[in-house]
Amino acid sequence: MVMLLALLLFGAKAIPDIAKTLGKGLREFRKATNEIKREFDDYTSDVKRDFDEVKTAVNRETDQITRQIDDVSNTLKKDAGEIKKNIENVTDTLEKDAGEIKKNIEDVSKPLENTFDSYENDRFED
């Protein structure tokens, strides 16, 4: 239908020239499109490469920070365990010492009580 319409409008002699001109135009359009695509790919490949470099650097730094945090965390856990052990040792020593002090006070108190009792008894007998 389109060919018949073109034949009626332009005539039989003009159709090959029109087809040739359309072909040239399409070739130039494809060439321009391919050039734009190539430039776009070149530009985006640079951007992608830059992005990948930044991503690699961020991942490397993140891994390093994570390792450092783990090291600090492990050190803190170890130190907390040692502090807990030291507190338990001090508590045990204080409890032992308190028991010894109580025993010493009782040991000293009994003779004093006996002395006081005998003094009281002697005083009231007179």
pLDDT at 91: 96
How do residues 76-88 score in pLDDT, each as one tens digit? 999 999 999 999 9
Say what the pLDDT of residue 8 is: 65
For tokens 């507190």, the residue is 87
Residue that is written with structure tokens 């087809």 in the block: 19
Distance, first Cα to last Cα, the chain: 153
Mean residue pLDDT across the chain: 86
d(CA 78, CA 117): 57
More confident residue, 68 or 110: 68
Residue 46 or residue 70, greater confidence:
70
Tell me the per-residue pLDDT of 3-62, one tens digit each, with 9 for 90 and over: 666 666 766 777 788 778 889 999 999 999 999 999 888 888 888 999 999 999 999 999
Q: pLDDT, tens digit, for every residue of 23-40?
A: 999 999 999 999 999 988
User: What band does 109 get if pLDDT is binned at 50, 70 and 90?
Assistant: confident
Q: Is the pLDDT of residue 126 over 60?
A: no
Indicate if the pLDDT at residue 118 is higher than 70.
no
Helix (H), strand (E) counts: the chain: 2, 0
